[in-house]
Each structure stands twice: as C-alpha cells, then as structure tokens.
Amino acid sequence: MIPRPFAYHAPDSIGAAIALLSDFGDQAKLLAGGHSLLPMMKLRFAAPEHLIDLRRIKGIRGIDMQGDEISIGAMTTEREILASPLLAMHLPLLVETARQIADPQVRYKGTIGGDIAHGDPGNDHPAVMLALDARFVLVGPHGERVVPAADFFLGTYVTAIEPDEVMTQVRISKPAVGSGACYAKLKRKTGDFATAAAAVVLRMDRGICADIAIALTNVAPTAMRAEAAENALRGRPVEDAAIAEAGDLAMAACEPAADLRGDEAYKRAMAGQMVRRALRTALSRCTG
C-alpha cells in the first residue's frame, strides 16, 4: 500500500499546470482529490513519476449561475456540492447524486472534475452528466475547448481529455421549470460503487412525456444513455406499463461485467429496476 516514488508539483496557475503536463508527458498525472488516483498508486497499478496538484490554482473551484447556465469548477468537492443552496434550488439532482457517492471522508476531498475525468464507469457523476447534457471546459496549450458529455466518455478510464489538458469547469443548463429528476443507485453498502444506477431527467407536458433523458452507471464500459428506453417514453403518458417497458429496454442496452456485486443477469436486472425506480421518483417530482 505504498506508491512508487514520485515528484510532487503544486503550480498556482492553469498555465503552469499545463506547462508541467507538456514537459512531463505521460509520466505526469494531475492530482485533484486523490481518491481515485492515490488508491491506484498505492496498489502500484498506476505509477506516475510526477504528480501535479491542482489545489492551489484559483478560479477552478466553486458553483455559480449565469442566466440558465450553472457552472461548477472542476475542483469543487462533493461536500461543497452537498452544501450548495444554489444547487439545492436549481439542480437538486446533483445534490442527490453527491449524497450517494462514497462516504463523508471521500466527499470532503473528492472533486466533481476528478470523478468525471477519471473515466471510471463505476463513478456516479458521468451518467448524471450524460442525463443533463453537461459540457466540460478543457484547457490545453492551444487554448480552451468545450466538449459535450455525449462525446466525452470513450472507454473505461479513457476520455476525450488530451494528456496536456486540464478540465476547469462543468457547465450545465438548468433543467426546465417543472421537470423532475432522480438518481437511483443500488449499492451494497456505504462507500460502494453502484451495482447499477440510473439518472433520469423528465419533463412532462399535460400528462405526456415531453422530454426524457436516462443514463446508466456501471453496467457498461462507460456511463451510457439508454436511448431506446428514452424513445419509447417520449410522447407517451408515463404509466406503469411504459415504466416497465423502459426498464426492459434499458436492460437490453447494457453490457455489465460480473464481479462480487453480481453476475451479468443480476446487474442487468438491477439496471432495469433502477431505471424504474428513478422514473417513478422523477415523475413524482414533476410539476409540469
């Protein structure tokens, strides 16, 4: 449980961080809360020679809203998300998600940027980002670009971030007034990753599903949208039969890997259950 030797850097600007990344190439890793990276280093699965800590960089931490766009600095911790009155008011889905991540110790250190950038299909933010159509601000030596969540998660531990880029911000459009959302997660215990989880954002218009996003956690190599299930619901009343069908369609779409949490059949079934659970709750939260 002791990592290989490494050098530690704590630059105080994005520019300096990017310069270090450019210097050291794939021998360097960015360090945010450390709660995904350090365990891998302690198990010696990862052995970066240089750690570039982002904690001293100003302007990439905190939660803000301009018009209908909510922006969250990449270095914002789960704990800060939990405690944010702004999010509680305008994006309670994110608060509900953060509450189900790990345990208080991890949430004091772990950041939303790290949770997303790690590319782990077991992490909870990626599916929620997909369901919210979030956009990620990536800054590199050639400037800034904005990548939508849909184009970001490429594979297990593989994302669209280039080795010399830093994620600085997460941008989310405030869900439409009257819409309801839910993150339903099945886990064995506190601090566990999901056996299966589903994020649902739903907008109803006079009893009809006007807009729907469903995304799944830990049942495929990356977080994924359950598009067939979404399509089946859009334009229909969200009744028991439709909810059941959406669950079935989500089950058909996922490709879980067996582990001690369960075999493929169980995880697939639980993906369906979490979709149904999240749909029912989201529906009950809709005011439209």
Are residues 201 and 213 in contact, defined by beta-carbon separation less than 8 angstroms?
yes
The tokens for 117 are 């950038």
Q: Contact, 79 vs 187, CB < 8 A? A: no
- Type of residue numbered 150: A
Among 6, 108, 157, 266, binds another protein (CB under 8 A): 266
Residue 261 interacting partner from ligand FAD, another protein, none (CB closer than 5 to 8 Å by kind): another protein
> What is the Cα–Cα distance from 159 to 144, expressed in whole angstroms?
16
CA 130 vs CA 49, 171, 222: distances in Å:
33, 12, 11
Q: Which of 80, 121, 288, 267 is nearest to 201 (CA)?
A: 288
Q: How far is the CB of 270 from another protein (least distance, A)?
A: 6
Q: Which residues contact 114 (CB under 8 A, 6 or more apart)?
A: 32, 33, 34, 35, 36, 37, 74
Q: Which of 66, 190, 284, 287 binds another protein (CB under 8 A)?
A: 190
Nearer to ligand FAD, 35 or 277 (CB): 35
Determine the number of helices (DSSP H) and then strands (DSSP E) in the chain. Answer: 11, 14
Query: CB-hemisphere CA count at 13 Å for 249?
Result: 17
Nearer to another protein, 77 or 195 (CB): 195
Q: For residues 246-265, which are near another protein according to CB under 8 A?
A: 260-263
With CB under 5 to 8 Å by kind, the binding choice for 68 among another protein, ligand FAD, none is none
To the nearest whole angstrom, how small is the minimum distance from the Cβ of residue 261 to another protein?
7
Residues 3-22 that bind another protein (CB under 8 A): 4-5
Positions 87 through 106 that interact with another protein (CB under 8 A): 103
| Strands lying side by side in the sheet with 50-53 | 7-9, 50-53, 28-31
111 or 179: whose CB is closer to ligand FAD?
Answer: 111
d(CA 199, CA 179): 13
Give the residue at shortest CB distance from ligand FAD.
Answer: 114
Please, what is the minimum distance in Å from the beta carbon of residue 19 to ligand FAD?
Answer: 15
Least distance (Å) between residue 49 CB and ligand FAD: 13
Q: Does 169 bind another protein (CB under 8 A)?
A: no
Per CB under 6 A, residues contacting ligand FAD are 29-37, 39, 54, 74, 101-102, 106, 109-111, 113-115, 117-118, 123-125, 161, 166-167, 191, 193
Interface contacts to another protein, rule CB under 8 A: 1-2, 4-5, 44, 103, 186, 188-193, 195, 260-263, 266, 269-270, 272-273, 276-277
